[in-house]
Structure 1
């Protein structure tokens, strides 16, 4: 079935900051949020970041905090993306019903898993997503009928490649219609193929895996992203990726305090 996607849509919604910048090739910047706090969401949203990935896989974030974070982030003109804890249909539905501008799905190993995610992410006839909430439209600044018309081609579906199986099958995964981005999770990828974390980054097998993921994304016209540890690395890899996520709230807080305490004690 051929249909418009985030890559080909002609719908322009200024609220969808991440999608708009991706389509213009502007290298938007993201970060992860793991601490369940509406105020934390607001603080991060006011830093100049383009999208905040609300981490419901590894973060301490339940349904209430997920809804509150999406509302706070979108109200400040930043794109809320939810990294869900798994690919189950009900989890995807619940995440999208917050009004998130996209989802990130971890540890996808093959094309069939990717197809199921796309099916759960889209309303009929392209998928099987159900409608019954007013909240999604609010997060997009739309009425419910407007949201229903636009959602299938404006919500970003991001697939994480971070296992050996995912790398082996990445060409088929990237070929799935409705997959908008392949996103590299470097720590889990290193653990899967090297047996340790973090990767130094120059291990031949790790480099080959990263290159294969990028190549598959480019071959099938999909955006490619990854997590990086700091702004210097984000700047260094800009020519290879369409977007990156620069660490997250917990690391940012720890890093600032440790640096300041070290200065104070020196």
Structure 2
């Protein structure tokens, strides 16, 4: 029996006739992942950098999301070959590597997702979900075709090197993180500051000049609309924890008198 893997995010972006809209999964809950997978968004990002996700919860979420017509990206916690190898072996086909600030760092990420001689990924697919335990014919020879790699630009220094990063062969796309970018510019918490948004658009131009897909985190609706109009190929517009927090607050505000809610706020 020979199985085929799903199209990569790079494949989806190449075929899309509009920007792909997604959201983050930060809770580590397969149930929450399944709920979001059926919501109608185009893609989901399982976050190992800031969320409590482990290798086990990542694999569980990949398994439940697979039943839905949505693309899943996993953000690894750092640009580390062993972690990248484990996440790939768990079955992730689309990776986001955070805090990439140079072409050298981007090249290291490319090497980590590829088998020798092109890269340094350890060979263990016969034991892992990545090649479906030997059921994907020719997986070792064609693995790079089943994986897409995004790198995240999220500092002022990275913006200065955006053209070089985008030019690295094997980088399929760039995702910009305005939160860390704003902090690096001395504007922490001001993701929609004009200087921050101008820096984001500089990365857009660099990526597009290199023929690479470009996206951005934009939880603010006005910012999301701005970046879509500016030509974003994809964006993440919210997160499971954000939707839950704001939804719970809205429920409380609608039904509980403000004075009672203030008395209950002891955190």
TM-score range, shorter chain: 0.7 to 0.9
Cα distance, 1:111 vs structure 2: 0.8
Distance 1:99 1:77 in 2: 16
- Written as runs of structure 1 = structure 2, the 5 A alignment for 1:132-147 is 132-133=124-125, 134-138=128-132, 143-147=135-139
Cα distance, 1:122 vs structure 2: 1.2
User: Scaled by the length of structure 2, what TM-score is found?
Assistant: 0.86
Evaluate the alpha carbon distance shift between residue 148 and residue 30 of structure 1 in structure 2; reply closer, same or farther with a 3 A threshold: farther
Name the SS for the 1:256 alignment partner: helix
8 Å Cα contact 1:79/1:100 also seen in 2: no
Alpha carbon RMSD of aligned pairs, Å?
A: 2.2
Cα distance, 1:61 vs structure 2: 0.8
2:250 corresponds to which residue?
259
Runs of 4+ in 1 over 6 A off after TM superposition: none
Evaluate the alpha carbon distance shift between residue 112 and residue 183 of structure 1 in structure 2; reply closer, same or farther with a 3 A threshold: same
Distance 2:101 2:234 in 1: 22
- Structure 2 residue 192 is the aligned partner of structure 1 residue 228: no
8 Å Cα contact 1:36/1:60 also seen in 2: yes
User: Scaled by the length of structure 1, what TM-score is found?
Assistant: 0.86
Evaluate the alpha carbon distance shift between residue 30 and residue 218 of structure 1 in structure 2; reply closer, same or farther with a 3 A threshold: same
2:62 corresponds to which residue?
70
- Structure 2 residue 240 is the aligned partner of structure 1 residue 249: yes
Q: What residue ranges of structure 1 are gaps of 5+ in the alignment?
A: 1-12
1:217 corresponds to which residue?
207
1:98 corresponds to which residue?
90
